[in-house]
Structure 1
Amino acid sequence: MIPLSPALERIEASQTSAMTDRAAALRGEGRDIVSLSVGEPDFDTPAHVIAAAKQALDEGKTRYTPVAGTADLREAVVRHFARDLAIETSRPQVIVTAGGKQAIFEALLATIAPGDEVIVPAPWWVSYPQIVRFAGGEVVPLPTTPQDRYLPDPDRLKRLITPRTRWLLLNSPCNPTGAVYPPALLERIAEILRRHRKVMVMSDDIYWPLVYGAQGHVSLGAIAPDLADRLLTVSGVSKSHAMTGFRIGFAAGPQELVSAMTRLQSHNSGNASSVSQAAAVAALTGPQDFLGEWRATFRRRRDRVVSAINAIPSLSTPEPDGAFYCFVDAKPLMGRFDDDNALALHLLEAGVAVVPASAFGGADGFRISFAASETALDTALARIESALR
């Protein structure tokens, strides 16, 4: 047996990826599986982005770039943060990474010492606690409930902060719940952070354009620019521009932190793909009008899924205000199943791939991605209803 690093022993494989892989394997065996487990838009990458990637290849842009990203892309990111997130930053405060996940990984590995605590609202994105544990930190859950639309309670947050608290991780719009933090909530969180100067905060805004209410997306950095010296904001083009395979994310924050992340990246992956960076420049600087059409499509799908789920006995879900997920409560069914993993496997046998709530720090339910065609959604929802009848 090969001895593994103690750091690796502290983490588990991604259950979302595992369920997606399992669904693909069953399809390979000839099974008809509708996958609602994957977290990526089903739209085609915009044509002008594809054209930019082809042009980059034709022009020989296939060499190393600066570790933190090309000057063109970092400048485009600066403009993106100002235009779309109302956050003022500068090129030395920006790093380009191979997907938003790498930016989160580098920020936490660069700053967490053994025993540091990281507060994470639960349910959470599957990788947050794994990255914290890999870095030697301790995850402190901040539980949220469907009754509160999965929004964190600031009073509970205050009680969780200790002298060992190093980071607070925020994700709005949220994967897996679809929760969108309103400005009043962000103001209360900012006020708490002002009283705890040593606590850093990460705002994962990767789903920023996918908000369905009248308010739209508001970032913590726009609400509280005075926290800029300890706030890292993460964004990217994977979800917003259907570019998951291009693997381009970026983050903006204190220059000292970004420099540390860049140092780590120089020994990790080096620069993100040069061709993908050229495509990302086109994504950020080119036409953005398609985003409204995509958002309207996702809103229709959301309404369709929420209505169908809430019509199935023993299932319920609040209406998500953002992203493209529904977090389904199936607690009344748990007398029939050992746990939500067993429930997810039961649905997989019925031809629908979902991810159990326990993968996200939740319980007794599952996450549905409605980033699928309406035909696929209707088929999956009918199968779920039939499997649980």
Structure 2
Amino acid sequence: MDLSYTAEEEAFRAKVRGWIEANKPQGGARPGIEELRDWQKRLHAAGYLGAGWPKQHGGGGLSDLEQAILNEEFAHANAPGALGSMGISWVGPAILRFGTEQQKQKFVPRVLSGDDIWATGYSEPNAGSDMYNTQTRAVKDGDHYIINGQKVWTSLAHASNWYFLLVRTSTDGHKVAGLSLFLVPMDTPGIDIRPTPMITGDREFSEVFLSDVRVHQSCLLGKAGQGYEIVSSALINERSGIAAGIRFDQGVQKLIATARRFGLDQNPSWRERIASLAIQAKVMKAFGLRVLSDQLHGRFNPHTSAAMKCIATRLTQEFSETGVEMEGYYGTLFDVETSAMNDASSTWSGRYLSDRAMTIAGGTTEIQKNIVAERILGLPRR
């Protein structure tokens, strides 16, 4: 595996780095919603959103290696993501792959520009990671569907104007065959959004209740019964191993600073613990480079993202656990009101609380391990 970059690639890196320095929001890694809207429009204008999407649909048309360089530089700069990150990471790629030409023309440019912000409706009270058990129903009524049900843990529902909604259109046959995916306007009558306060003070999540929500059949993405395939494809699009490795390197530096602040930097036990995390951070970055190499040489297994998630989420929790333990009594202090106005992840205690969800959100660790066992190692299900 050749880890060197060409002169052209280094020139691209310098261009990206200069652009970030000139355009990065001043609010740090977590500015306000309006700042993020403006940030997304600047990213789009520069061609840095949907960087690998086809140019004919408004994307940047960048190569896999250029996208990796882009991700590296944004991670190094601790730059925030776009407000419409759900649209960029999940919805846009799904529409490009499964949507009609009309849907692509209607939605993709607005996903990139930030004119449309998307929420994803997967989890339910009795169907979190178990999508097979989805109960929200969509019943055909002429040229329309009538949707009834409830979704939980919907990110940014209060700030979104479109809903990427998984529902059940049939109860016949295997449970997977009855799932479908709809693109639903959030202002459709019958949609009720109720914020779910978090232990960190964040207001990111909401419950969404759907009561006789009427949508046209043109809102169906792909075919009826194709919902599970679409959602699985969307989740696989979440992979950024190199950038994750860089963020872990930054976490190591923060742990070192914490150790010095509390007089623990000469303590052999803490030095060993931080060194162990530093090694794991390097392993994570190497894993990302291996995945990139596989992509460049046409041998990438998309299910590798499951293995990457298993490692990255648990390592994230180990970092915040270590930080809180080093701070001792101070690590137990957490001001919810202050956190609600600022970034909870700026403190170890805030990170510790928010990181609890990392091994659950986007598919539990147990599910990711099953994917690794079955799809990568070829082990039997029983």
TM-score using structure 1 length: 0.25
Q: Highest CA radius of gyration, 1 or 2? A: 2
More relative contact order in 1 or in 2 (CA 8 Å, sep 6+)? 1
| Structure with greater helix share of residues | 2
TM-score using structure 2 length: 0.25
